[in-house]
């Protein structure tokens, strides 16, 4: 006895821990009364009762959806995968952030020569050296460059090794975008809500506002996604988005600095501006045809310089189409041409004329300035920054797609617009999960929650009934006549539906109202008119009441019956 009490006590204590964890409900349904607007919660368990003309508001719980989706997908693996990817993305973004930071610092540090990016080089190398993976990638990219260099040594003049390596690093940003997309696909699952009305003839799909479109007799699902990531992970992803955005701004700022710096360097070409004046002043010494050649050369170079100036002030450096290096190359080509034609033509002339000497000096000075600016432009990782800018923009957008808010907060099911329906028809609401990648033709739905309800008229309503009554004119003295006499009757009944009791709605279903009858109590073959009060029960199959026979001025009571089917010769309007 003692022992059994002990076990009972243990069992009672352990019961809360042994019982399966209570699952959160996915759906919360509320009934909104059509007339009063009153909101009533629909019970979560069992067969609920809802008003046939009401509006149902169906709210979904994102946390519960995520929990169910995780159960289906296998939580541990997904969590690990997500964590790894988030870490990797963050690391790559940090690397790029550092690179952009050094580039900006290299431009902004006034004590540095503008054409020197050594600080960037050294800082970047230090960071790369501290990371085995980055170092391996550096070697790989450097060898790629070397292979191309061996095939064509003039590559050195056209493409910078360090910028090539930086450019290859930035490609990892593109791969991140792909990784994020894959991650999102792995982590997300389509969530859907469906509703059906079920009657004796079968079922019919119903439209739920926000979850599907019902057009021209067809249902089209609105794509709603649930993500199987927890709020902390979502927060981490949002942090990545901020990081990508700030990196994006950093690269844009660096590009602006580059533009400003370049713009500041252009006045160094002032000598080019003085060229036509000197040419005019030296006109006595210089033959006309040479002047024409030099004038044309100067015009070409000047035109390119103006073009570059205008573009630097008006165009966005982040625009794909803008290539400052190409524009600079054009200017350089014309400046070189001016240099060669000046030198070729003026060297043979007597150097006694000061203006001829000035022209020669000017050509030399311009060439030196062009070389200096050229070194700055060539060494500047403009393409890399442009790539970072664009990649980060896309990366930030990609992170935005990781958002639970993609599932609408509520769906609305307006029963008044669901077509012909009758009391007692059932309503089925399903919450579904569909894995990503399933095609529309072959979907593996998983119903994660299902709710059913019966539709009924819950307010007062009038119901006409035609039937037979057995009337007893209890005050009439007719010894030879039957005590109860059949007579046709018609009643107008008032009924009330219940939200709580299926027994009441389906079995008792009482009604009360007025009844008219046409008995022939006088037995003369001419029916009299009678009217009175009636009450019905059992879905109007049984009725009873009291009436007054206006032909004989006598009362009678009656017991009535309405058969739930039609018989030949019986009046229509049978009970249900």
Partner 1 sequence: MFSSAPKFLGLRPKASWVAAFQAAARFPEGLTPGDVPLALDSSLTQWWAGSAALAADAGYSAAERYCIRLAFLWKLYRAFEAFGFGAQVAERIANAVLDVVEETPAASRPTEAAGLTAVAAFPEALLTHLKAVHDYYTTHALLQEEVLESTEATPAPLLLPLSSAGFLCTVVLPADMEVGMARALWRQFMRENTAVRLITLRADAAAREAAETADPIFFAPGGGQKPGRCLWAQPAGLMPDIHQWLQQQGYAQPDQARCIVLRANGTLSTVLTKTDVIDDFALSEAFFNAC
- Contact pick of 24, 77, 109, 139 for partner 1 (by CB under 8 A): 139
Minimal distance in Å, beta carbon 398 to partner 1?
A: 31
Contact 434, 222 (CB under 8 A): no
Residue bearing tokens 């001829």: 356
Minimal distance in Å, beta carbon 102 to partner 1?
A: 12
Q: How far apart are CA 529 and CA 471, in angstroms?
A: 13
- Contact pick of 51, 60, 96, 162 for partner 1 (by CB under 8 A): 162
Taking CB under 8 A as the binding criterion, the range among 47-55, 154-162, 256-264, 427-435 that sits at the site for partner 1 is: 154-162
Q: 399, exposed or middle or buried, with CB in 10 Å at 0-12, 13-18, 19+?
A: buried
Q: 389, exposed or middle or buried, with CB in 10 Å at 0-12, 13-18, 19+?
A: buried
Q: How far apart are CA 416 and CA 253, in angstroms?
A: 59
Q: Which is nearer to partner 1, 81 or 159 (CB)?
A: 159
- Contact pick of 160, 184, 278, 449 for partner 1 (by CB under 8 A): 160
For 181, the token pair is 């997309």
Minimal distance in Å, beta carbon 131 to partner 1?
A: 11
Show the site string, 356-395: x = touches partner 1 by CB under 8 A, - = not.
-------------------xx-xx----------------
Q: Which is nearer to partner 1, 343 or 412 (CB)?
A: 343
Minimal distance in Å, beta carbon 17 to partner 1?
A: 57
Q: How far apart are CA 350 and CA 276, in angstroms?
A: 19
- Contact pick of 14, 347, 416, 462 for partner 1 (by CB under 8 A): 347
Q: How far apart are CA 358 and CA 422, in angstroms?
A: 104
Query: How many helices (H) does the chain have, and how many strands (E)?
Result: 14, 18
- Contact pick of 23, 94, 156, 576 for partner 1 (by CB under 8 A): 156
- String of DSSP letters for 255-312: HHHHHHHHHHHGGGGHHHHHHHHHHHHTTTTS-HHHHHHHHHHHHHHHHHHHHHHHHH
27 binds partner 1 (CB under 8 A): no
- Contact pick of 24, 77, 109, 146 for partner 1 (by CB under 8 A): 146
Taking CB under 8 A as the binding criterion, the range among 16-24, 156-164, 390-398, 440-448 that sits at the site for partner 1 is: 156-164
Q: Are strands 554-561 and 542-549 parallel, antiparallel or unpaired?
A: antiparallel
- String of DSSP letters for 400-452: HT--GGGS-SEEEEEGGGS-S--TT-EEEEEEEEEETT-BTTB---EEEEEEE
261 binds partner 1 (CB under 8 A): no
* Nearest to 193, CA basis, from 410, 33, 471: 410
Under rule CB under 8 A, how many of the chain's residues touch partner 1?
35
420 binds partner 1 (CB under 8 A): no
Q: CB-hemisphere CA count at 13 Å for 38?
A: 8
Contact 98, 388 (CB under 8 A): no
120 binds partner 1 (CB under 8 A): yes
Taking CB under 8 A as the binding criterion, the range among 117-125, 313-321, 394-402, 439-447 that sits at the site for partner 1 is: 117-125
Q: Which is nearer to partner 1, 293 or 343 (CB)?
A: 343
350 binds partner 1 (CB under 8 A): no
The conformation of residue 383, written as its DSSP 8-state character, comes to: H
Contact 462, 513 (CB under 8 A): yes
Q: How far apart are CA 303 and CA 292, in angstroms?
A: 16
Q: How far apart are CA 469 and CA 517, in angstroms?
A: 8
Minimal distance in Å, beta carbon 380 to partner 1?
A: 8
The rounded radius of gyration (Å) of the Cα atoms in the chain is: 45
- Contact pick of 41, 74, 129, 287 for partner 1 (by CB under 8 A): 129
Helix (H) or strand (E) holding 4: helix 2-18
Show the site string, 462-501: x = touches partner 1 by CB under 8 A, - = not.
----------------------------------------
105 binds partner 1 (CB under 8 A): no
133 binds partner 1 (CB under 8 A): no
Helix (H, G, I), strand (E, B) or coil at 546: strand
Contact 62, 407 (CB under 8 A): yes
Measured distance between the N- and C-terminal CA atoms of the chain, rounded to whole angstroms: 58
Taking CB under 8 A as the binding criterion, the range among 66-74, 116-124, 437-445, 483-491 that sits at the site for partner 1 is: 116-124
127 binds partner 1 (CB under 8 A): no
Taking CB under 8 A as the binding criterion, the range among 162-170, 219-227, 252-260, 399-407 that sits at the site for partner 1 is: 162-170
Show the site string, 165-204: x = touches partner 1 by CB under 8 A, - = not.
x---------------------------------------
- Contact pick of 118, 213, 481, 523 for partner 1 (by CB under 8 A): 118
Q: Which is nearer to partner 1, 34 or 161 (CB)?
A: 161
Number of Cβ within 10 Å of residue 329's Cβ equals: 14
122 binds partner 1 (CB under 8 A): yes
- Chain residues binding partner 1 by CB under 8 A are 115-118, 120-122, 125, 128-129, 135, 138-139, 142-143, 145-146, 149-150, 153, 155-156, 160-165, 343-344, 347, 375-376, 378-379
């Amino acid at each position: 006895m003692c022992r059994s009490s002990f076990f009972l006590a243990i069992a009672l204590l352990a019961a809360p821990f042994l019982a399966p964890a209570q699952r959160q409900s996915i759906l919360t349904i509320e009934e909104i009364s059509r007339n009063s607007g009153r909101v009533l919660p629909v019970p979560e368990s069992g067969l609920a009762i809802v008003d046939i003309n009401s509006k149902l508001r169906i709210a979904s719980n994102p946390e519960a959806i995520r929990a169910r989706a995780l159960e289906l997908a296998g939580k541990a693996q997904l969590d690990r995968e997500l964590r790894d990817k988030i870490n990797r993305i963050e690391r790559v973004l940090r690397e790029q952030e550092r690179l952009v930071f050094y580039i900006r610092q290299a431009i902004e540090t006034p004590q540095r020569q503008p054409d020197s990016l050594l600080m960037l080089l050294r800082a970047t190398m230090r960071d790369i050296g501290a990371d085995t993976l980055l170092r391996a990638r550096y070697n790989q990219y450097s060898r790629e460059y070397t292979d191309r260099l061996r095939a064509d040594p003039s590559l050195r003049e056209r493409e910078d090794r360090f910028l090539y390596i930086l450019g290859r690093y930035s490609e990892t940003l593109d791969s991140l975008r792909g990784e994020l997309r894959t991650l999102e696909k792995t982590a997300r699952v389509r969530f859907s809500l469906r509703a059906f009305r079920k009657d004796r003839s079968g079922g019919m799909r119903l439209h739920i506002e926000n979850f599907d479109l019902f057009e021209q007799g067809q249902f089209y699902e609105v794509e709603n996604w649930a993500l199987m990531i927890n709020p902390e992970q979502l927060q981490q992803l949002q942090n990545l988005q901020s990081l990508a955005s700030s990196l994006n701004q950093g690269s844009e700022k660096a590009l602006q600095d580059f533009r400003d710096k370049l713009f500041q360097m252009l006045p160094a070409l002032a000598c080019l501006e003085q060229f036509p004046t000197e040419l005019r002043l030296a006109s006595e010494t210089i033959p006309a045809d040479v002047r024409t050649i030099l004038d044309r050369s100067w015009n070409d170079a000047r035109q390119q310089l103006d073009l570059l100036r205008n573009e630097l002030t008006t165009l966005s450096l982040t625009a794909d189409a803008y290539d400052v290096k190409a524009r600079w190359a054009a200017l350089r080509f014309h400046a070189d041409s001016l240099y060669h034609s000046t030198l070729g033509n003026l060297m043979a002339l007597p150097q006694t004329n000061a203006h001829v000497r000035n022209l020669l000096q000017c050509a030399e000075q311009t060439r030196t300035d062009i070389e200096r600016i050229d070194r700055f432009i060539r060494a500047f990782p403009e393409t890399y920054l442009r790539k970072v800018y664009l990649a980060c923009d896309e990366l930030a957008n990609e992170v935005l797609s990781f958002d639970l808010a993609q599932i609408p907060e509520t769906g609305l099911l307006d029963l008044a617009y669901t077509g012909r329906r009758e009391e007692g028809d059932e309503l089925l609401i399903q919450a579904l999960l569909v894995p990503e990648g399933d095609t529309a033709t072959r979907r593996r739905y998983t119903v994660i929650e299902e709710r059913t309800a019966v539709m009924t008229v819950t307010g007062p309503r009038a119901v006409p009934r035609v039937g037979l009554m057995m009337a007893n004119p209890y005050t009439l003295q007719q010894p030879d006549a039957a005590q109860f006499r059949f007579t046709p009757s018609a009643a107008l009944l008032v009924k009330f539906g219940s939200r709580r009791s299926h027994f009441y709605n389906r079995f008792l279903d009482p009604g009360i109202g007025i009844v008219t009858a046409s008995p022939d109590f006088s037995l003369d073959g001419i029916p009299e008119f009678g009217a009175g009060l009636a009450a019905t029960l059992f879905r109007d199959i049984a009725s009873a009441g009291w009436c007054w026979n206006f032909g004989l001025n006598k009362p009678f009571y009656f017991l009535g019956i309405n058969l739930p089917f039609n018989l030949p010769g019986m009046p229509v309007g049978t009970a249900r």
